[in-house]
Structure 1
Amino acid sequence: MTHTMRIVAMQKEQIGDLNKTNEPFLLFGRLVPTFHDDVWSFTEELFEMPSETKFPDDRIDCEAYISQPDKIIYLAYADDICIGQIRLVKQWNKYCYVENLAVCQAYRQSGIGRQLFRKAEAWAKERGLLGITLEAQDDNLAACRFYQKMGMALGGVDTMRHAFNLNIDKALFWYLKF
């Protein structure tokens, strides 16, 4: 059975779909960054015991993203079911910041994340932005691998950003320059 796939800018009547993409994901390893001669590199460390986690539901003013020049939420649909989202904001440094990228479990590894990311690239380029940036946690190895596949480079590490969360050691900042 084939699905009709579409990606649309979120409208008021779709606000209820935003958190439908917030499903559990597997933490199976971490990215271990090193900084040497002004260049970031990294290795991977796989966990002996993978675990599942889930981000809390977003509690944002969704209407503030509708029909705005400097922010947008794109939703991906298979037929009429919301299966993915990407939330974008134009930053002060002329980068497009990805606030969130999520795909429902049943649709992961199917190209939906790639399509959403390409939509973000097009949105950023239409606005004359310099590239895309985002934060991923070091223990979300699947996300880190995905961002690498999308051509992003590790541009910085913050060891204090998630000091309150014993599970997250480092916040990793990824960049794609156009």
Structure 2
Amino acid sequence: MNRESKIMISPLNTELIEDINKTNDSFKLYGRVVPSLQSGKWSYEEVLLDEPREIRFPDDKLDWDQYINQEDKTLFLAYMNHTCIGQIRIIKDWNRFCYIENIATKKDYRGSGVGKLLLNKAEEWAKQRKLVGMSLEAQDDNLGACQFYVKQGFILGGVDTLKQSSNADIGTTLYWYKLFNEPIK
């Protein structure tokens, strides 16, 4: 990444809708998170896969106008030199968390700070709405994403082994949380 280039974060508007799925590059699955619950606390081990593989999520086909100028949901796009390099799609969830529906960075820009900037923007949005934290889901075989979330201050808060049971390729759904303040005990 050119140090002279500045990353700009823009909220979605009608002119930017065509850029949303441009961030949907393939990514490598190279390990798995193996969660464990002991005395009410989640922990996990990281296990590398014998054979890493590339996957790509299908493009999202949503009514993108529903994310423009809304109080309870939005989508931010990251740009460098007028090229869309990342996105984060968020909603105000029922539990007063900012739920991250999707976060993606173009392959060539991963590791450059784009994801962190997008998460920071989501956190700013959530705090403006007096939400208690951020949450998201990741699959147990997406070790790279899970490691990124932990690095950004997320903790494992739950596991669901049935949510994706209709999809043979997906095992366990992991629920990650970042609390803005310490939880009330």
Q: What's the offset of the Cα at 1:19?
A: 0.1
For 1:66 and 1:78, locate their aligned partners in 2 and report how far apart those are by CA, in whole Å. Answer: 21
- What's the counterpart of residue 14 of structure 2? 12
Deviation track 1:108-150 (CA, whole Å, cap 9, x = no partner) reads 0000000000101100000000000000000000000000001
- What's the counterpart of residue 42 of structure 2? 40
- What's the counterpart of residue 68 of structure 1? 70
Tell me which amino acid in the other structure corresponds to 1:47: L
Aligned residue pairs total: 178
Q: What's the offset of the Cα at 1:4?
A: 3.1
Unmatched 5+ residue regions in structure 2? Answer: 181-185
- What's the counterpart of residue 55 of structure 2? 53
Q: What's the offset of the Cα at 1:168?
A: 1.4
- What's the counterpart of residue 80 of structure 1? 82
State the SS of the aligned residue for 2:111.
coil
Q: What's the offset of the Cα at 1:79?
A: 1.1
Q: What's the offset of the Cα at 1:165?
A: 1.9
State the SS of the aligned residue for 1:14.
helix
TM-score after normalising by structure 2: 0.95
Unmatched 5+ residue regions in structure 1? Answer: none
Deviation track 1:5-56 (CA, whole Å, cap 9, x = no partner) reads 2001010000000000000000000000000100000001100110000000
Q: What's the offset of the Cα at 1:160?
A: 0.7
State the SS of the aligned residue for 2:54.
strand
Q: 1:115 aligns with which of 114, 117, 136?
A: 117
TM-score after normalising by structure 1: 0.98
State the SS of the aligned residue for 1:167.
coil
For 1:144 and 1:135, locate their aligned partners in 2 and report how far apart those are by CA, in whole Å. Answer: 9
RMSD of aligned Cα (Å): 0.7
- What's the counterpart of residue 105 of structure 2? 103
Q: What's the offset of the Cα at 1:106?
A: 0.3
For 2:70 and 2:174, locate their aligned partners in 1 and report how far apart those are by CA, in whole Å. Answer: 28
Q: What's the offset of the Cα at 1:167?
A: 2.0
Seq. identity, % = 49
Alignment of 1:155-170 (within 5 A): 155-170=157-172
- What's the counterpart of residue 130 of structure 2? 128
